[in-house]
Amino acid sequence: MTNAASPPPAQKGGSVQSSYLHHYACFRCRKSFKRASRTEAVLPCPECGGPSIGLTRKFKPPKRSDEKQWRKVEALVRHGFLFWSLNEPYPETLKEVAAFAQRHAAFIAAERAKNPEAYREIDAALSPSG
Ligand SMILES: [Zn+2]
């Protein structure tokens, strides 16, 4: 039998399946950027130079025009949620965020205790003066 194997598809430099990419969300631009790894808690947004927050692969960025959804995402991140899988779906609307945060307060406290420096960067990035 001849070797019928077709050549592998050409690989672009640094191309990674999008499901393996992490999102960095910029709340000023209401945009997210993909990076191959989430080694930094906060990176400068390539668009505006402001802070963008590293979120998990679970994060699905809303449309840029969907200001309400972006406000909800920002509220979640301010509470400390970086879009890990939890035992319930993430809230659909901004007004559900407070109760959601309360239900997972212990989890968030543990995450903050584990990653104090990352959360310091995130909190600073989201502070109004910053
Ligand atoms: Zn930006």
Range of the domain at 39: 18-126
Distance 31 CA to ligand 1 centre (A): 7
In a domain, 88, yes or no: yes
Tens of pLDDT along the chain (130 residues)?
555 555 555 444 444 455 578 899 999 999 999 988 878 999 999 999 999 999 998 899 999 999 999 999 999 999 999 999 999 999 999 999 999 999 999 999 999 999 999 999 999 999 875 4
Structural domains in the chain (count): 1
CA distances from 56 to 25, 35, 53 (A): 10, 11, 10
Asked if residue 100 belongs to a domain, the reply is: yes
Region of residue 80 (phi > 0: left; psi between -120 and 50: alpha; otherwise: beta) = left
* Residue 1 lies inside a defined structural domain of this protein: no
Whole-number Å distance, alpha carbon 30 to ligand 1 midpoint, is 7
pTM: 0.82
In angstroms, how far is CA 61 from the centroid of its own chain? 8
| 29 within some domain | yes
* Structural domain contains residue 67: yes
How many whole angstroms from 17 Cα to the centroid of ligand 1?
Answer: 24
Task: Give a yes or no: residue 2 inside a domain.
Answer: no
